[in-house]
Amino acid sequence: MEKLKKMGIALILGLIMSFSSNSNVYVCDSSTSVAYHASDSCKGLNKCSHKIISLSVADATSRGKRACKICY
Ligand SMILES: [Zn+2]
């Protein structure tokens, strides 16, 4: 029974880890950028003259970014 419980926890942790790594987005590290992107090679990031950083969706939205219209 204890073993089953541990397997269940490992499974859930694995799901959370894969979910959070899948939900990473890219934003231009500039105060004028408004969007987050699914890919760092998105056209919307071409004009970014700042650093491109990778964040979770929650982090990006908390910084006031919305989903890019080109890659979403
Ligand atoms: Zn984009």
Q: pLDDT tens across 22-47, in order?
A: 579 999 999 899 999 999 999 999 98
Residue 51 has a pLDDT of 96
Give the per-residue pLDDT at 48.
92
Q: What is the DSSP letter of 62?
A: H
Distance 27 CA to ligand 1 centre (A): 9
Does residue 19 register a pLDDT over 80? no
Distance 17 CA to ligand 1 centre (A): 24
Ligand 1 centroid, distance to 6 Cα (angstroms): 40
CA of 36 to the centre of ligand 1 (A): 6
- What average pLDDT does this structure show over 63-71? 95
Is pTM, for the whole model, over 0.75? no
Domain ranges for the chain: 24-72
Tell me the C-alpha to C-alpha distance, in Å, between residue 18 and each of 12, 22, 23, 48, 55: 10, 6, 9, 29, 15
How far, in Å, is the centroid of ligand 1 from the Cα of 3? 44
Nearest to 31 by CA among 49, 55, 8: 49
Neighbours of 22 (CB within 10 A): 8
